[in-house]
Structure 1
């Protein structure tokens, strides 16, 4: 199989935010059959060495046109406003395989109220609250990352 064929069959993950949780998620994704596009507006927050399956992109929603369709989007920036911008643009783009937002239920409810005026309701319902894993009370970055990646693992195709 050619390398191009291999990379096109991998799960595409767009990770928005290089916070502590973002770093922990990226470390876990390094050993999985996926291609990670990791975005943050702050270049200094990316680690010096990235996993081979990861591409760091400095920027924000302006970079969206260069990112793959049918991707799994994980939004966990350092700012609620940046999170909102990403979520709004992802929903308007309307080609995400999965949309996860690192948030509590009240933040998700606030976003939903704001999105009602600009995005069809059916799309809004696609947002998954990443802190809402049943039975997991630990809020350490590694624990959150494990629950996030466990949810993504459910989306892997058997051949992946």
Structure 2
């Protein structure tokens, strides 16, 4: 993985980059120098932001900064959210002649917790995009028609509009574990999108707009094309169905969109709870002992760390 200074972006400060990346829901790492002892390139409070391809601001350069960038990118690649402390003996671990000791707080933001792939910029699609705007989701909005998206979509954070004339290409470009909603203006396009998504199989959830009879017709065709009952059972159609299978009698675009977003919130909450229950229990964040060590520097010695 490339970690060197060639990707340093001098046009944007760390705080401007942090604000932009947070708004866009893009994965990034904030690195803060929290303690120093002896001769160090910069003082506590220095910060930098690291993404998979760019570095914003600097901790003073040198080998220890290069090592910090490498650590940040390894954790981004692994999807490891959370904070940790890293200790650097500049004369030991980092091989810099200035000596000194530095502790860095590494805060990993793995990106938006939910990515929604929305196919269709019609009435229901537009309402879904509007209702999802305040949520911390990333929205990938697709339509095969030219100029189908409303003008205000260009100003919505975490929203990417994609002209998608070929369903198979649009689906192939999606990241894994998206929540996909298929609600285009054309039943044939709906079918091709659904077929491509089922063939991938690595989505978090899959919903199709339409009636029970539409789904019965689609299901029969898809089964004949070789899709298993287990795969087809994962498709939600109609979308926006509440507890105990309740579906609102209000069929206006706003009501359908509202019920659909509520349904997605329920699905994502279940997934988040499952992830929390699988995580190790107990204390979270930086271990208290590591924090005490970072703030003390007993006998002017470096904090224990692998050189």
Q: Which residue of the partner structure matches residue 138 of structure 1?
A: 250
Q: Which residue of the partner structure matches residue 79 of structure 2?
A: none
**Equivalent residues in 2 for 1:72-83, closer than 5 Å:** 72-83=179-190
d(CA) in 2 for partners of 1:98 and 1:135? 19
Q: Which residue of the partner structure matches residue 55 of structure 1?
A: 160
Go from structure 1 to structure 2 and tell me whether the alpha carbon gap of 1:16 and 1:80 turns closer, same or farther (over 3 Å shift): same
**Equivalent residues in 2 for 1:5-154, closer than 5 Å:** 5=28, 6=109, 8-50=111-153, 51-59=156-164, 60-61=166-167, 62-118=169-225, 119-129=227-237, 130=239, 132-133=241-242, 134-154=246-266
Q: Which runs of 5+ in 1 are unaligned?
A: none
Go from structure 1 to structure 2 and tell me whether the alpha carbon gap of 1:131 and 1:28 turns closer, same or farther (over 3 Å shift): closer
Rg larger in structure: 2
d(CA) in 1 for partners of 2:146 and 2:116? 19
d(CA) in 1 for partners of 2:111 and 2:205? 17
Task: Report the alpha carbon displacement of residue 70 of structure 1 after superposing the two structures with TM.
Answer: 0.4
The question of whether the paired residues in 2 share the 8 Å contact of 1:76 and 1:101 is answered with yes
Q: Which runs of 5+ in 2 are unaligned?
A: 1-17, 29-108, 276-307
Secondary structure in 2 matching 1:151: helix
CA offsets 1:61-101 (integer angstroms, 9 cap, x no match): 21222111100000000000000001111001010110010
d(CA) in 1 for partners of 2:241 and 2:112? 29
TM-score after normalising by structure 1 = 0.92
TM-score after normalising by structure 2 = 0.49
Secondary structure in 1 matching 2:214: helix
Task: Report the alpha carbon displacement of residue 131 of structure 1 after superposing the two structures with TM.
Answer: 5.5
Q: Which residue of the partner structure matches residue 27 of structure 2?
A: 4
The alignment covers a number of residue pairs equal to 159
d(CA) in 2 for partners of 1:145 and 1:52? 19
